[in-house]
Chain A
Amino acid sequence: MSSETKQILTTDGIPLEVSLKKAEKKNKIKAFLLVAPLLLFLVITYIFPIGDMFMRSVDDRMVTNMLPKTFKAMEKWENLEELPPEEVYRGFYEDYKLLVEKQEHGKLGQRLNKEKNGFNTITKRLFRQIKRNKIDESISIKDQINKIHKRWRNIEFWLAIKRTAPPYTMAKYLKGMDMYVASDGSIAQVDEDRRIHRILWLRTLEIAFFVTLFSFFMGYPIAHLLATLPMKYSNLLMICVLLPFWTSLLVRTASWMILLQQQGVVNDFFVMIGLVGDDNRPEMMYNKVGTYVAMTQILLPFMVLPLYSVMKTISPSLMRAGKSLGGTPFVAFWKVYFPLTIPGIGAGCLLVFILAIGYYITPALVGGASGTLISNQIAFHMKTTLDWSFASAMGLMLLTGVLVIYWIYNKLVGVDNIKLG
């Protein structure tokens, strides 16, 4: 390259290359500044809090913070086959006395009880001794504590304290899958009759899957009809899809509650056509039937709209060409039309499935006990048990699932196909 071509100058005498780079950089900054307010807002109010959820779900510094002297002394506890040395006992005693003054000893007892069953009893015993000033600090604390309860002489209980030392724990995630860390450090399953969370995960997946399936089988024909009818009819029919889409979720749930109740319109109709007797009307609400019916109707527009927008772009002459080349209408449909609608099917199914998997309001109102999903459980722990770290852990497990589905979808179909309305 000769030096002349390098030295193309702008009217200001600056090399063109430099000037162009400068202008491009300026444009980049300009574009970024436009996005910056929203990006900053979302990062602060939304992305960081999701990170905060993660911190809360794994955070396990409570015991460490409550028992600083104990953990300091435990560094000297070398032979883990024997009871810890005097310093550990003394450290624990001093920490615990401080907690009693701050009235936080109850929290510690409950937390340690989760680690080793029966712990709460012996910390309460110790509490009573401290309240009565029965402990003489000038002689061996180890001997005095060991006399309070035989469990204090059991090494298992001291090992349980030691186990809480790491600042982070996966216990909440394990609990979300009905597992726990056993006293020997291995991961164990909870008893079969107490595995509630696994049932909820499976039920959530099952309901999301079937709602997606029902929506697809109901949405495909009407999207096809809407896309092939002349404009003036299809616009009118489109209202049937768009009006529910724009109507409040609670209004639609309320109408299903009225329709499905035992004295409701659907049951009235069944009685009228003689399908069921007046005295044994089936229960259609507060069970899975109610959840399926209501959720399918509520999520159906999210299936129809992407399908419609894809089908609208398919030229009718393709089907005619298929038929004129000797295909029956079924073959023409299956070999020509259907493959072209796959992006729409993907987008619709993704939308419905992701919305269904996080559903909360409708199942809570029409689902009853057998219609509760994982989201209801998260809300329950947020509001009733106030176990926010467990709610966070389950929320993040759900989020991971959704992101995996989204990623697979993006690999298979591409996210650009999502359209609104």
Chain B
Amino acid sequence: MALPSYTETRYRIWHYIYLTICTFVFFFLIAPLFVIFPLSFNAEEFLVFSEGMKNLDPDAFSLRWYKDMIYGTKNPWGLAAKNSFIIAIFATIGSIILGTLAALGLSSRHMPYKGLIMATLISPMIVPLIISGVAIFFFMAKAGLAATHTGIVLAHIILGTPFVVITVTATLSGFDHSVTRAAASLGSNPVNTFMKITLPLILPGVISGGLFAFVTSFDEVVVVLFLAGLENTTIPIQMWTGLREQLSPTILAVATCLILLSTLILISAELLRRRSERLRGINR
């Protein structure tokens, strides 16, 4: 973004103002996440920076809250983490299978009523979560699935499939269908063709849709608040109750772990996106 040397002064000034605004916005976006890190190592019970921390006194820092998160008596984080992972993994698998199949059907040029069906399939993404929560709760209560893992997994499949449908449909839009015809002409049956030819090519799209579905499930709190009983508590539910009732630094320890997890997911999502663009022949 270096300015050409002939730029007039007023545009030069304007350019620096623009850069300053951008810096502020980037700071506004990312800085809040970094407040959590140091405070989670606080030796004291308050959620403010103590004098010791401001002076970088080593005694003011401790791993106390991490220990409490893992070993603390009567604390729900272990159960919550287990539930969250189980639910998210099953919800992701379900979303990937249903979503990928549907995307394959939708990208066929023979598909009837394409627009209407697409709108139905991605509707859980557009409808405000609170409404989805109410509707899904009514269904689960009638089906006897409220306060069960199965019910929550099904609910998260509903919320997660639109992401898989969208990412896989996008990947398939650049897909060269002559390769599947070539496979068929060489004597491969449709299942074999899918496993050996189509799936490897659309895999980046499938996985990145799966990542969206995983994060949606792992981070979901509105619907799960309607559905979960005591046994089905998840990390978001525990954070929600913790933030509402007693703001303890243990929450910040958990939050730090979650930020690390999302960093991991971000990196894999980015790598996948680039691989997918390379495969689809999009060069920038």
Q: Which residues of A contact B (CB under 8 A)?
A: 24, 27-28, 30-39, 41-50, 52-53, 56, 218-219, 221-222, 225, 228-229, 231, 237, 239-244, 246-259, 261, 263-265, 268, 297, 300-301, 312, 329, 354, 357-358, 360-361, 364-365, 375, 378-379, 382-383, 388, 391-392, 395-396, 398-399, 402, 406, 419-421
B54 to chain A, nearest CB (A): 9
Chain A residues with CB under 8 Å of B228's CB are none
Q: 14 more A-B contacts (CB under 8 A) besides A53-B134, A251-B239? A: A38-B101, A39-B117, A45-B139, A46-B136, A53-B135, A231-B284, A240-B29, A243-B266, A254-B36, A254-B243, A365-B243, A365-B244, A395-B135, A406-B126
B207 within 8 A of A: no
Chain B residues with CB under 8 Å of A231's CB are 284
A344 to chain B, nearest CB (A): 17
Among B14, B30, B36, B163, contact of A240 (Cβ-Cβ < 8 Å): B30
Establish whether residues B29 and A241, one from each chain, have CB atoms under 8 Å apart when the complex forms. Answer: yes
Among A32, A254, A259, contact of B239 (Cβ-Cβ < 8 Å): A254
Whole-angstrom CA separation of A218 from B27 in the bound complex: 11
B156-175 toward A: CB 8 Å interface, digit per residue (1/0)? 01100101011100100000
Most chain A CB within 10 A, of B36, B121, B166, is at: B36
Chain A residues with CB under 8 Å of B29's CB are 240-241, 244, 297, 300-301
User: Could you list some 13 contacts between A and B, CB below 8 A?
Assistant: A28-B112, A242-B269, A244-B33, A251-B33, A254-B255, A263-B48, A300-B29, A378-B131, A383-B226, A392-B134, A395-B134, A396-B131, A398-B131
Whole-angstrom CA separation of A33 from B79 in the bound complex: 39
Whole-angstrom CA separation of A406 from B126 in the bound complex: 9
A242 to chain B, nearest CB (A): 5
Establish whether residues B47 and A261, one from each chain, have CB atoms under 8 Å apart when the complex forms. Answer: yes
Among A218, A255, A361, A375, contact of B25 (Cβ-Cβ < 8 Å): A218
Residue of A nearest to B105 (CB): A34
Chain A residues with CB under 8 Å of B18's CB are 221, 225
Establish whether residues B226 and A382, one from each chain, have CB atoms under 8 Å apart when the complex forms. Answer: yes
Most chain B CB within 10 A, of A228, A239, A402, is at: A239
Residue of B nearest to A35 (CB): B105
Chain B residues with CB under 8 Å of A268's CB are 49
Establish whether residues B49 and A265, one from each chain, have CB atoms under 8 Å apart when the complex forms. Answer: yes
Chain B residues with CB under 8 Å of A406's CB are 126
Whole-angstrom CA separation of A361 from B163 in the bound complex: 21
Chain A residues with CB under 8 Å of B33's CB are 243-244, 247, 251-252, 255
A84 to chain B, nearest CB (A): 38
Stretch of B58-66, B177-185, B257-265 on the interface side: B257-265
B130 within 8 A of A: yes
Interface hits, B202-227 → A, CB 8 Å = 208, 212, 215, 218-219, 221-222, 225-226
Chain A residues with CB under 8 Å of B132's CB are 46
B147 within 8 A of A: no
B137 within 8 A of A: yes
Given known pairs A56-B138, A246-B269, the reply for A395 and B1 (CB within 8 Å) is no
B237-279 toward A: CB 8 Å interface, digit per residue (1/0)? 0011001100100011001001100110110011001000000
Chain A residues with CB under 8 Å of B165's CB are 38
Establish whether residues A34 and B104, one from each chain, have CB atoms under 8 Å apart when the complex forms. Answer: yes
Establish whether residues A52 and B139, one from each chain, have CB atoms under 8 Å apart when the complex forms. Answer: yes
Chain B residues with CB under 8 Å of A35's CB are 101-102, 105-106, 111, 117, 121
B104 to chain A, nearest CB (A): 5
Establish whether residues B138 and A52, one from each chain, have CB atoms under 8 Å apart when the complex forms. Answer: yes
Chain A residues with CB under 8 Å of B239's CB are 248, 250-251, 254
Establish whether residues B273 and A242, one from each chain, have CB atoms under 8 Å apart when the complex forms. Answer: no
Establish whether residues B134 and A246, one from each chain, have CB atoms under 8 Å apart when the complex forms. Answer: no
Establish whether residues A49 and B138, one from each chain, have CB atoms under 8 Å apart when the complex forms. Answer: yes
Whole-angstrom CA separation of A240 from B26 in the bound complex: 6
Chain B residues with CB under 8 Å of A237's CB are 26
Whole-angstrom CA separation of A222 from B30 in the bound complex: 13
Establish whether residues B135 and A222, one from each chain, have CB atoms under 8 Å apart when the complex forms. Answer: no
Most chain A CB within 10 A, of B127, B170, B226, is at: B127
Establish whether residues A256 and B128, one from each chain, have CB atoms under 8 Å apart when the complex forms. Answer: no
Establish whether residues A402 and B108, one from each chain, have CB atoms under 8 Å apart when the complex forms. Answer: no
B89 within 8 A of A: no
Whole-angstrom CA separation of A218 from B29 in the bound complex: 10
A261 to chain B, nearest CB (A): 7
Chain B residues with CB under 8 Å of A255's CB are 32-33, 35-36, 255
Whole-angstrom CA separation of A256 from B35 in the bound complex: 9
Among B111, B117, B221, B262, contact of A361 (Cβ-Cβ < 8 Å): B221
Establish whether residues B105 and A45, one from each chain, have CB atoms under 8 Å apart when the complex forms. Answer: no
Given known pairs A30-B110, A49-B135, A254-B239, the reply for A402 and B128 (CB within 8 Å) is yes
